[in-house]
Amino acid sequence: MIYATPATGALGLLVLFALILSGVRIGAALGLVGLGGLAVVLGPEPALIKAGVVTIDTLTRYELGTLPLFLLMAHVFFAVDASRDMFDVAARFLGHRRGGLAYAAVAGCAGFGAINGSSLATAATIGSVALPEMRRRGYSDALATGTVAAGGTLGQMIPPSGALIVYGIIAETSIGQLFTAAIIPGISQALFYFVVIWLLVRWKPGVAPASERAGWRERWESLRRVWDMALLIAVVIGGIAVGWISPSEAAAIGAAGSLLIALVRRRLGWSMLFSAFEATLKTSGMIFLIIIGALVFSVFIGVTGLAEAASSGIAGLHLGPTGTLVVIALLLLVLGSVLDGLALMLLTTPILLPIVESTGMSALWFGIFITRAMEMGFVHPPLGMNLYVIQGVAKDVPIGRIFKGVLPFLASDFVHLFLLILVPGMALWLPSVLR
C-alpha cells in the first residue's frame, strides 16, 4: 500500500478531469480511474473483485428501485399532458395579474417538479407550454425564457428528485429524510423567483402586460383536471415525510397511481406504455452507470486518504464553518459551470462530505446544499443546460437574451444558497420535526 497516499488520489482526480474533458462517458471515466487507482494501490485482483461487488450490490439494491419507478411515473405523466394541465391551473388563477403568467410558469414548474425529478425535463416540458403563451401575450423574451429556465431547476429540488436519490445512495443517507429536507428549500426557492418577477414587473411594467381574468368556472374546470395528480403527489411526498411509506414504496405507489390516472383518462395504450418503458430504462441505465462508476471511484478516494487530507488542509486555513462552506460553494459553482450536474455531485461528494462534516454540518444538509449548487449550474451562463433547452423551445430568441433573462434569477439563487449556509434549519428543521 505504498501508493495509498493523498498524492495518488489527487493524481487520480487530474486523470479523471482529463478523461471527462476528452469526451469519455462520465460513468466510465469515474469507474476506470477508480479501478486503475485501486489496481495501483491494492493490486489488480482486489480492484476487479471490488468492482464486481459494487456492481452486484448496486444492481440488486432495493433503494435503487426508487429511481426507475419515479422515472416511470414521470414518463406516464408526460404522456397524459400533465405539464399543460399544471400550467393551465396556475395561469387561470394568476394570469390576470401583471407578470401573472411568469408566476404561473414558476408554479407550473414546481408542480411538475413534484412528479418529475429532472431539471431539464421540467424546463423543456413547461417551456413548451408556457413560452408560446407568454410571448403571445406580449411578455418580453428575456423575462419569459429566464423564468422558465430558472423555474425548471425546481424539478431537481422539489421531491421526488433524481439528484437526491443518487446522493442518498452515494452518501448512504436516508432518501426519505433528504426528500423531507428538500421541501422548505424547494418552496422558498419558488418564492424567491416570485419576488424576482414581482421586482422586475414593478421596475419595468412593459415586460409583462396584464391579461384578461379567467372566470371561476374556468378555474374550477382547470382544477378538475389536476386534482387526481395533486392527490397522488400529496400521498407520495406526504407519505414519505410522515414516515408512512418508504421512498421505494412511494415510488411504486406513484408509478401505479400514474398508470391508473392514464387509464381513467383513456390514454393508456400499448405504444404509450412502450415509450414510457423505453425512456425509463434508458434514463435509469444512464444513471446506474454513473452510480457504479462513482462508487468504485469513491472507494479509491477513500483508500488514498485524499478527503481527510483536504479536510485537514482546509481546517488549517482557519476559515471557520461559514467561511469553509462559502469556499466550498464557490468551488461547486466554478466546477458546475464546466461539469454535468450528476458528475459534479458524484465527483465531489466523497471529497467534500468529510470537510463539510468537520464544520459541524450533516450529510443530510450537504445533500440539499450540493443539489442547490447543482441546480445553479443548470442556469449558469455560458454552459447552463437549461438555457440551451429553452433555446431549443424558443429557437428565434438569441442565447444572449436568454442569458440576460436568467441573470436576476441567478442572483436570487446566490442569495438563497447563502441563506441555506446561514440558516441550516431551512433544510434540517422539517426532518427533525417529522422524524
Half-sphere exposure (CA, 13 Å, Cβ side) for 59? 10
Question: Which residue of 7, 14, 49, 231 would you call a contact of another protein, by CB under 8 A?
Answer: 49
Q: Interacting stretch for another protein, rule CB under 8 A, among 188-196, 243-251, 370-378, 414-422?
A: 243-251
48 is a site residue for another protein (CB under 8 A): yes
Question: Cβ closer to another protein: 9 or 27?
Answer: 27
Only segment of 113-121, 191-199, 282-290, 403-411 that touches another protein (CB under 8 A): 282-290
CA distances from 27 to 19, 63, 132, 182, 400 (A): 11, 20, 37, 26, 32
Peptide bond into 382 cis (omega under 30): yes
- Closer Cβ to another protein, 56 or 195, answer by number: 56
Q: Name the amino acid, one letter, at 71.
A: L
- Interaction residues for another protein, span 331-350 (CB under 8 A): 338-340, 342-343
Q: Is 429 exposed, middle or buried (0-12, 13-18, 19+ CB in 10 A)?
A: middle
Instruction: Give dist(CA 162, CA 168) in Å, integer.
Output: 10
Q: Which of 143, 148, 180, 139 is nearest to 161 (CA)?
A: 180
Cβ neighbours of residue 75 closer than 8 Å, sequence gap 6 or more: 275, 276, 279, 280
Cβ atoms within 10 Å, residue 264:
11
Residue with Cβ nearer another protein (17 or 429): 17
Place of cell 434569477: 409
- Residue of the chain from 241, 251, 328, 352 that contacts another protein (CB under 8 A): 251
Residue 280 binding another protein, by CB under 8 A: yes
Work out whether 4 is an interface residue with another protein (CB under 8 A): no
Q: How far apart are CA 157 and CA 181, in angstroms?
A: 10
Cα–Cα distance between 156 and 167 in angstroms, integer? 12
Which grid coordinates belong to 397? 430568441
Min dist CB 399 to another protein, Å, is: 14
> By CB under 8 A, what part of segment 286-315 binds another protein?
286, 288-290, 292-293
CA distance 203 to 289: 47
Min CB(225)–another protein separation in Å: 24
Q: Is 379 in the site for another protein (CB under 8 A)?
A: no
Q: Which is nearer to another protein, 67 or 101 (CB)?
A: 67
Cα atoms in the 13 Å half-sphere on the side-chain side of 280? 23
Regarding 60 and contact with another protein (CB under 8 A), the answer is: yes
Pick 33 or 86: Cβ nearer another protein:
33
Start-end of H helices in 317-398? 320-336, 341-358, 363-378, 385-393
- Residues 6-45 within binding reach of another protein (CB under 8 A): 19-29, 31-32, 35, 45
For another protein, which is the closer residue by CB, 40 or 252? 252
DSSP 212: P
Under the binding rule (CB under 8 A), the answer on residue 281 touching another protein is yes
| Binding range to another protein, per CB under 8 A, among 4-12, 189-197, 221-229, 285-293 | 285-293
* Angle between helical axes of 247-264 and 66-79 (0-180°, round to 10): 20
Residue that has been written with the C-alpha cell 413534484 in this structure:
114
The distance of Cα 382 from the centroid of its chain, to the nearest Å, equals: 19
How far apart are CB 296 and another protein at their closest, in Å? 9
Interface segment toward another protein; rule CB under 8 A; list 62-70, 318-326, 351-359, 395-403: 62-70
Tell me the site size for another protein, rule CB under 8 A.
65
Q: Which of 191, 226, 273, 399 binds another protein (CB under 8 A)?
A: 273
Please identify which residue in the block is written with the cell numbers 417538479: 113
271 contributes a contact to another protein by CB under 8 A = no
**Is residue 68 part of the contact set for another protein (CB under 8 A)?**
yes
CB of 45 to another protein, least distance (A): 8
Interface residues with another protein (CB under 8 A)?
19-29, 31-32, 35, 45, 47-53, 55-56, 59-62, 64-65, 68-69, 72, 245, 248-249, 251-253, 255-256, 259, 273-274, 276-278, 280-286, 288-290, 292-293, 338-340, 342-343, 383
